[in-house]
Amino acid sequence: MFDQPSVFNRTEYDSHGSAISANMYNLYIGLVLLWGFFVNYLMVKYIPVESLLQINWILFIIGYMACAFLGIFIYSRSTNPNVSFLGYNLVVLPFGLVVNIAVHQYDPAIVLEAIQVTGLVTALMMLLGTIYPKFFFKIAPALTIALICVIIVELVLWFFFGSNPEIMDWLVVVIFCGYIGYDWARANQIPKTLDNAVDSAAALYMDIIILFLRILSILGRRR
């Protein structure tokens, strides 16, 4: 089950992945994404943010990383769509906790605006990823280097200066716009199976949520 190549390195159909049409493939990606967003909505609505803020932040980060990376390992290595969907949900849960904490810091109108902007940007980047896949494949290494640099700079700013300037939010937005186009282009380069649809949706989900959080931060700073 877990001895297969990582999802975006797959080039052949296997015993767990019969081919489906391009339309069905894209539909499944959309449905899996919507499921993740719906779970996040339920978490925001029904999990009191006060209870999350009472958790020791070190334990929270450790639990977040452990759950997210376990989910990534499961969905990216499994060729069984049910197992991959389990891995996807293990990613959705910790991301949902972060979203819960983030959205409660802002007025609902700002949150709604951030959702709208994120949706429009995501649709645009998916369109560009469809039209210009080679461009996104070409810039992928630069995106990775840029993301690593941004993470290091943000950690330094946070631990030594206790600040995170708006320019860092903008840099992350640009990087993850690129990642959405890249992951969408990759999703359409691998065999179109139900399992690969789940895996592709999981990668896109993380891109979109991070993009949303940074757009929310930018809009919140300006109100």
Query: In this predicted model, what pLDDT tens digit does every residue of 3-26 receive, in sequence order?
Result: 455 666 665 655 556 889 999 999
Q: What is the pLDDT of residue 32?
A: 98
| Residue 160: per-residue pLDDT | 86
Instruction: Tell me the residue type at 24.
Output: M
**Is the confidence at residue 205, as pLDDT, over 60?**
yes
> What does the alpha-carbon distance between residue 127 and residue 122 come to, in Å, rounded to a whole number?
9
Please give the Cα distance from 218 to 197 (Å, whole number). Answer: 31
Higher pLDDT, 72 or 15: 72
Mean pLDDT of all residues in 78-98? 96
Q: What is the pLDDT of residue 11?
A: 57
Q: What is the pTM of this model?
A: 0.91
- Tokens standing for 212? 């949303």
Contact yes or no for 102/40 (Cβ under 8 A) = no
- pLDDT per residue as tens digits for the range 32-43: 999 999 999 999
